[in-house]
Amino acid sequence: MRRAALWLIPAMLLAAFPLRAEDRINVVASFSILADFARNAGGARVRVTSLVGPNGDVHVYTPTPADARTIADARLVVVNGLGLEGWLPRLLQSAGSRAPIVTASRGVAPLKFGSETDPHAWQSVVNAKIYIANIRNALVEADPAGADDYRKNADAYLAGLDALDAEVRAAIAKIPPARRKLISMHDAFGYFAKTYGFETIAPLGVSTEAEPGARDIAGIITRIKASGIRAVFPENISDERLIRRISAETGASIGGTLYTDSLTAEKGDAPTYIALVRHNIRTLTSALGE
């Protein structure tokens, strides 16, 4: 029901202010989850383009000339920051864009992973609210005429996120504390784990680029056996074979696919951020719960 209500908001706005497509302002987001945030905060006044599409890997993206053109037309560019989009600064420069850039994660307390910063802040719904606030403020600045709309949209979406946060906490409360351990390919769940009291172990570290050594894999297998972890999780953007091997060797079952850095296409399990979080939490509870 709640989800249906959220869908209605843009529809109602569209009816209230019949804007032609040309009147909308162009917003460019670096990847699909930010694009979803921008769509929700911008409503009918914006046209959002995502540089890295659904099921794409934002860590290792190579921009195309079409991306440069998209950026050149933009009135606002939304990026995650925290070192996620290493390829973006040069693209912005070469596209000659004068659009303001909003770093959606500004104000999030960064987690360190060794010397690297973990960029996956959106995995915690609490942080997603910070993202929305940043994007709303940037939209208001870029298009003051729509200020009221943006505030209204953002408030509605923030209420949805509050409900989602409560939902996640309620679901996790049903998983016994000793089982709140999450093993996936790359360490995308640091913020999620911190907010919701999980422990995470991942062979690849925070970026999908690195390659694990035999010692890392052996270490993970030993830890799984020692602490009786019951399930390991593949992701939508990585090779599954390594996680399957770990599963075969430890007897831990393979939980459903977790979505980390990318939404799925419209028909997939996680076409929006809220659907993504719901899917992940369902996957976790069904694999780790009673």
Q: Rule CB under 8 A: which residues touch other proteins?
A: 52-53, 55-57, 60-62, 64, 208, 210-218, 221, 237-239, 241-242, 244-246, 248-249
Of residues 57 and 118, the one with the C-beta less far from other proteins: 57
Contacts for 88-96: CB closer than 8 Å, 24+ residues apart: 88/30, 88/63, 91/63, 91/67, 94/68, 95/67, 95/68, 95/69, 95/71, 96/72
How far apart are the C-alpha atoms of 159 and 165, rounded to whole Å? 10
Q: Between 116 and 216, name the residue whose CB sits nearer to other proteins.
A: 216
Q: Where are the beta strands (DSSP E) in 88-175?
A: 101-103, 111-113, 116-118
Q: What is the layout of strands, in order, in the sheet containing 181-184? A: 199-201, 181-184, 231-233, 253-254
Contacts of 169 (CB under 8 A, 6+ apart): 196
Q: Return the bridge partners of 5, or none.
A: none
CB nearer to other proteins: pick between 3 and 69: 69
CA of 55: how far to CAs of 32, 132, 177, 258, 266, in Å? Answer: 8, 22, 31, 12, 11
Q: Least distance in Å: CB of 64 to other proteins?
A: 6
Q: How far, in Å, CA of 191 to CA of 59, rounded?
A: 17
* DSSP 8-class letter at 178: G
183 close to 233: Cβ distance less than 8 angstroms: yes
Between 14 and 218, CB nearer to other proteins: 218
Closest separation between CB of residue 59 and other proteins, Å? 9
Rounded to a whole number of angstroms, the minimum distance from the CB of residue 113 to other proteins is 15
Nearer to other proteins, 166 or 248 (CB): 248
Query: Of 63 and 146, which has the nearer Cβ to other proteins?
Result: 63
